[in-house]
Amino acid sequence: MVRVPLSPPRGMDDILPDEMPLHRRLVETVRLLFRLYGYLEVETPPVESYELFAVKSGEEILSHMYVFRDAHGRQLALRPEMTAPIARLMAGRLSRSPKPIRLGYVADCYRLDEPQWGRRRRFYHGGFEIFGSREPAADAECLVIFNDFLRRVGVRDYFFKIGHVGVQRAIMSSAGVTGEGQDKILSLLDKGRVEDAEEMLRQHAASGETVYLFGELARHAPGRADETIERVMEKVGGIKQAAKELENLKKIVELASEVIEPSSLIYYPGFARGLSYYTGFIFEAYGEGVDIALGGGGRYDGLVSLIGGPEMPGVGFAIGLTRVMQYLTDRAAVHARPESPLAYVVPLAGEAVSLAFKLATRLREAGVSAELDPSTYTPQEAIKRAERRGARFLFLIGRREVERNTVSVRDLVERIQEEWRIEEIYGRAESLLGRVRVGS
């Protein structure tokens, strides 16, 4: 006999009935924001060509991908993130779409990370991507949407960690470091290996002064964005392109501050992200008491053309729905519980089962969620079972009800019981929904 594992692969989780309502609520909030902000939802396959991510995802992502070959020898990968697949759409089938275009997605992604709090090997992302605009307003919109999401789902104490790799790239470019060299240095910076990043820059730099400035920014204390940007401007003003990139960040922060509390926008001059396709503004969102981001993103102006599409600016972000769900459950005391039917229908005798089926169907047609228990019980047992399921109304059908073509309806909150005729169900159902709406 083959012994089948009863648990999913390590780092991948089943979503159980008591967890599903919160998961669905987060997904529905993302989709609500799609509608409110004008994003068109798309879906891509969970399996992509390995080359899509090898182009510019960075060593950190590539080393943690699920990679395999199919029966035809093609090298494929489970998607580790969603920006590259969305950029593939823009490079191909959507390349002629009017710009700017806003695309959204809800998708499960896969990374071979070491499982820990907030880090799973299968996780859900809710993402927002804007193509065709270089305006700072597009970058600021990313912050505003994420802020809107956190507010709606009940994350109260959070802040945005903000950076701008355009500033760092400008400094490296002034030292003669370009392309792949910059990506490697930023990857080291992302891992907190500041000295190694400085050493790699030193090997390519034309002057030690540039290395000193790069290291000074990498170690610069974070602070409220509007104030810290001014302090950093004094240091990089001698490098024209770096100053220009910093002005871009300043404008993004000014726009976002019209909606978001300015003290929640924190600029980290040495901040870099693991994905090497970023070209400008970057950010991550953090909840109180955790050092793992709840999501993040940034600007990636060269990605679409890099994978074979036209020149097209892009900016976007992903919300870590799996992390937000764990944060709300563990840190914000959001109690998960399974969804309950509004009505619980119980036949009290064998001859009542047919009428119970008919009743449950009519309730559902009238918009009332109804669960039918096909077994027969005493009224007392039926009440206990309905209460355990969290139902508000108990519908009982016994021999007497069959003879009279009626049903006994018990309100388990108000502790009152009524008798309804079956043909009255459609009209009466609205009164059930009304009682729930007014909170009685």
Q: Please report, for the chain, the start and end positions of each structural domain, with discontinuous segments joined by +.
A: 20-330, 343-433
Encode pLDDT of 395-407 as tens digits: 999 999 999 999 9
Residue type at 400? R
Return the residue matching tokens 């008591």: 18
pLDDT band at 422 (very low <50, low <70, confident <90, very high): confident
- Bridge partners for 297 per DSSP: 283, 317
| Mean pLDDT in residue range 62-90 | 95
The number of beta carbons lying within 10 Å of the beta carbon of residue 156 is: 9
Least trusted range by pLDDT, from 6-10, 188-192, 282-286, 430-434: 430-434
3-state helix, strand, coil in the chain (%, to 5): 45, 20, 35
Residue 48 to residues 45, 87, 114, 395, 434, Cα–Cα distance (Å): 7, 12, 23, 51, 49
pLDDT reported for residue 388: 93
| Mean pLDDT in residue range 406-429 | 89
Least trusted range by pLDDT, from 36-45, 291-300, 400-409, 419-428: 419-428
What pTM does this model have? 0.90
Which sign, positive or negative, has the C-alpha torsion 59, 64, 69, 74?
negative
Whether residue 258 is predicted with pLDDT greater than 60 in this model: the reply is yes
In order, the DSSP letters of 99-122 are: SSEEEEEEEEEE--PPPBTTB-SE
| Mean pLDDT in residue range 54-82 | 88
Q: Which one has a higher pLDDT value, 86 or 175?
A: 86
pLDDT band at 149 (very low <50, low <70, confident <90, very high): very high
Beta carbons of 380 and 348 less than 8 angstroms apart = no
Beta carbons of 327 and 290 less than 8 angstroms apart = yes
* CA atoms in the 13 A half-sphere facing the CB of 88: 18
Separation CA 210–CA 395 (nearest Å):
77
Separation CA 430–CA 419 (nearest Å):
16
User: Among residues of the chain, what percentage have pLDDT more than 90?
Assistant: 73
Helix, coil or strand: residue 223: strand
Separation CA 290–CA 292 (nearest Å):
6
Separation CA 167–CA 160 (nearest Å):
18
Whether residue 426 is predicted with pLDDT greater than 50 in this model: the reply is yes
Structural tokens at position 251: 């404008």
Least trusted range by pLDDT, from 232-236, 331-335, 355-359, 420-424: 331-335
pLDDT band at 429 (very low <50, low <70, confident <90, very high): confident
pLDDT reported for residue 294: 97
For the chain, what is the mean pLDDT? Answer: 92
Structural tokens at position 309: 């599409």
pLDDT band at 436 (very low <50, low <70, confident <90, very high): low
Encode pLDDT of 298-340 as tens digits: 999 999 999 999 999 999 999 999 999 999 998 887 876 788 9
pLDDT reported for residue 333: 77
Least trusted range by pLDDT, from 22-26, 57-61, 229-233: 57-61
pLDDT reported for residue 57: 66
| Mean pLDDT in residue range 257-269 | 97
Separation CA 270–CA 171 (nearest Å):
12
In this structure, which CATH number among 3.40.50.150, 3.20.10.10, 3.40.50.2300, 3.40.50.800 belongs to the domain 343-433? Answer: 3.40.50.800
Encode pLDDT of 185-212 as tens digits: 898 898 889 999 888 988 877 667 888 8
pLDDT reported for residue 58: 67
Whether residue 171 is predicted with pLDDT greater than 50 in this model: the reply is yes
| Mean pLDDT in residue range 380-386 | 93
Encode pLDDT of 348-358 as tens digits: 999 999 999 99
Structural tokens at position 134: 């270089």
Separation CA 420–CA 195 (nearest Å):
78
Work out whether strand 416-421 and strand 158-164 pair parallel, antiparallel, or are unpaired.
unpaired
User: ∠ CA 311-316-317 to the nearest 5 degrees?
Assistant: 150
| Mean pLDDT in residue range 208-222 | 89
pLDDT reported for residue 210: 83
pLDDT reported for residue 95: 95
| Mean pLDDT in residue range 81-85 | 95
CATH architecture type of domain 20-330: 2-Layer Sandwich (3.30)
Contacts with 224 (C-beta within 8 Å, 6 or more apart), sequence order: 262, 263, 265, 266, 267
